[in-house]
Amino acid sequence: MNSSFRDYKNDAANWITLASGEFYPDILTDACKLYRPVLELFGQLLKTSESSKRLLLEITDIPEQWMRIQLSRVFRKYVSPNTSVEMLKQKRKAQWICDEFGKYFRSIVEVQKAFESRPMPDEALCAVLWEYKDRGSKDYDMTEKMFELLRNNFPSYKITGPERAGRDILLGEVFENYIKPDRPVDFIIRKKETVVAVGLARYDSDRGGAQEDDRRTDGYLNASREILEYAKNNGLKTKVIFVNDGPGLLLGSMWDDYSYLEETSPNVLVVTLRMIPERITEEWLSK
């Protein structure tokens, strides 16, 4: 058994799990079938809207959430590429977006010309929208396998958390008087009623490098320190486990950053799925 996450670095490629993907242009038939109704409705709204601001307001009035989100994505591509989709998703912010960012919208006439210049359905745009369809599914696939591994290895422990889509566990619901009650985690390991470990899981696909290091590992470091400080102050032996997998771990300084994260405390462990059987042990959980 390797003693630390860092010890696996020279052989890192053999310790990550690659999620299955879809080939281009194979996806185009299904993508065009799925998103043609979206583009057709966008075209109808485009013809009846006197301005780009009105177009956005019409889109936010669409009652079906899935359709409204897809229309918002098309709107962003054609009208306002600087406006985030997350912002556009929020119905209550539609008028505010128009007031604050409407002056940067492409004019309705230009949008109509651009839209009409493309075929129906537009294969290129359908392919772009298809990329959003399975976003997050790799995380779900990984966590599902993670729960299976943990339960098989620790049948006497109770392992809870959202196995695919679902609400995160908030530590304020797990620990009494927790300093940040809305701290979300992905899984909890209990021995009888005692919380022996708190875990976070993530699949890193191709988002490595400095941006990912700063955003992810710094957040993990803060979370682990917070959890371990609470455990110490309350006489608990709770550990912190980070399950991270995927080719993103091989990019930039990711492996070193996760290694440093583990080295901050003997009560922190960083593993990939393939490391779980040999690195997460009952001895470590119980000490």
Domain boundaries, the chain: 5-18+136-286, 28-133
CB 157 within 8 A of CB 239: no
Residue that wins the pLDDT comparison between 3 and 35 = 35
Q: What is the DSSP pairing of strand 239-245 with strand 158-160?
A: unpaired
Provide the percentage of residues in the chain whose pLDDT is more than 90.
62
Per-residue pLDDT tens over the stretch 180-235 = 999 999 999 999 889 999 999 888 776 544 444 444 677 889 999 999 999 999 99
CA 124 to chain centre: 24
pLDDT at 279 over 70: yes
Lowest-pLDDT range, 91-105, 144-158, 255-269?
91-105
Lowest-pLDDT range, 15-29, 146-160, 258-272?
15-29
pLDDT at 136 over 70: no
User: What is the model's pLDDT at position 210?
Assistant: 40
pLDDT at 79 over 50: yes
Lowest-pLDDT range, 48-52, 143-147, 226-230, 269-273?
143-147
User: What is the model's pLDDT at position 229?
Assistant: 95
pTM of the predicted structure, to 2 decimals: 0.69
Lowest-pLDDT range, 40-44, 94-98, 133-137, 171-175?
133-137
User: What is the model's pLDDT at position 215?
Assistant: 46
Residue that wins the pLDDT comparison between 80 and 205 = 80
pLDDT at 144 over 70: yes
Q: Residue 211 half-sphere exposure, CB side, CA atoms within 13 Å?
A: 4
Distance (Å, rounded) from C-alpha 287 to C-alpha 283? 6
Mean pLDDT computed over 230-254: 91
3-state SS assignment for residue 55: helix
pLDDT at 135 over 50: yes
Which CATH code for domain 5-18+136-286? Answer: 3.40.1350
pLDDT at 108 over 80: yes
Provide the percentage of residues in the chain whose pLDDT is more than 70.
91
Helix, strand, coil shares, percent, the chain, to 5: 55, 10, 30
With CA atoms as reference, report the closest residue to 141 among 13, 61, 246.
246
Taking the CA atoms of residue 5, residue 218, residue 86 and residue 123 in that order, the dihedral angle to the nearest 10 degrees is: -40
Sheet holding 158-160, edge to edge: 158-160, 187-191, 194-203, 239-245, 268-271
Mean pLDDT computed over 113-134: 91
Distances (CA, A) of 159 to 28, 31, 56, 152: 40, 37, 44, 11
CB 157 within 8 A of CB 199: no
